[in-house]
Structure 1
């Protein structure tokens, strides 16, 4: 069983978290049944960008990071306090652990920024929120990332993406990394994603 840590910050976008819970959940029940997702935060109660509040299954201080095989992080909104948690040293230490152990790290939209803040994107290819009015790409570049103009960028074990619309594709790419191409195609078909 591959265990995925879904790391949530206050201000996370619920839709970006839900693609991970749904794709990996479908795999757990309908695919090869080889994945389990655990929601984790810096505290028990985490509030999304639009005030959808959840109780995470575990708090960072209560877990052993060695128990997990992959890390998934949704992005969020600065106005909702996303970077307060996402730039917290405890959050960044989780990222550094997965990177040091070369375990898959999948992020959506601005969740690449805490990766940059943690120092793991130095000289690596990555992307982030790409709307022409956004400053996020420049912020990611300031962390030493080699910015790519692609919807999804995979550099080794790290996946970054450019906006919420990439969410399902990132979640399926993570599933494929953890299982197989054949299994991922099966789960996609079961979920109605006909290629």
Structure 2
């Protein structure tokens, strides 16, 4: 099974790496074929704090039917995150995953492009909750029922409120895509 890790420039490494590590540990220890495929607008994107990441595919090369789930880590606006995360191509991928009933998981402000895409309207979700709750207010402006909790699941969409939730979101995604047994084993051997 393949999971698309959709990366915008300015992405936070800790949030992207949570999916890579959890699904990598699952592949190795549970021997369940879960593969993370990275995608971006350019072959090399600069993450938050200007660390380069080389992606597997470009956004125009994505065929949604090849994936079981979409993972969207958040990032910093100061490093250009919203320039790409709010691009219509980025939003169209989110909409297509939703239209096909596939799991969509986000961490921190990764919920904002999901909100902007329109698929969270009337649903419960959360996003970054510190520094005056500015990002939660922004999510609410997209018609989202903002819940001030660490991880919120509504339908097949997972959102969370800050980088500290990254591993939890990845483990919950693994559980929903495989089984609670598989997720709990990885949680235990990773020390969570």
**Please, what TM-score do these two structures have when normalized by structure 1?**
0.96
More helix by share: 2
Task: Specify the alignment match of 2:163 in structure 1.
Answer: 164
- Report the count of equivalent residues: 192
Unaligned runs of 5+ in 2: none
Task: Specify the alignment match of 2:101 in structure 1.
Answer: 102
Q: What are the Cα deviations for residues 108-162 of structure 1, in whole angstroms up to 9, with x where unaligned?
A: 0001000011000100000000014231111101000001011100001000001
Task: Specify the alignment match of 2:86 in structure 1.
Answer: 87
1:138 partnered with 2:132: no
* Aligned-partner Cα distance in 1 for 2:171–2:90: 24
SS at the partner of 1:5? strand
SS at the partner of 1:187? helix
| Worse-matched range after superposition: 144-153 or 30-39 | 30-39
* Aligned-partner Cα distance in 2 for 1:166–1:38: 21
* Aligned-partner Cα distance in 2 for 1:19–1:177: 16
RMSD between superposed Cα atoms in Å: 0.9
Task: Specify the alignment match of 1:41 in structure 2.
Answer: 40
**1:1-195 equivalence runs, <5 A:** 2-193=1-192
Unaligned runs of 5+ in 1: none
* Aligned-partner Cα distance in 2 for 1:57–1:131: 33
**Please, what TM-score do these two structures have when normalized by structure 2?**
0.97
SS at the partner of 2:82? helix
Query: Shift in Å at residue 91 of structure 1?
Result: 0.4
Q: What are the Cα deviations for residues 33-70 of structure 1, in whole angstroms up to 9, with x where unaligned?
A: 23111001111111101111011011111221110110
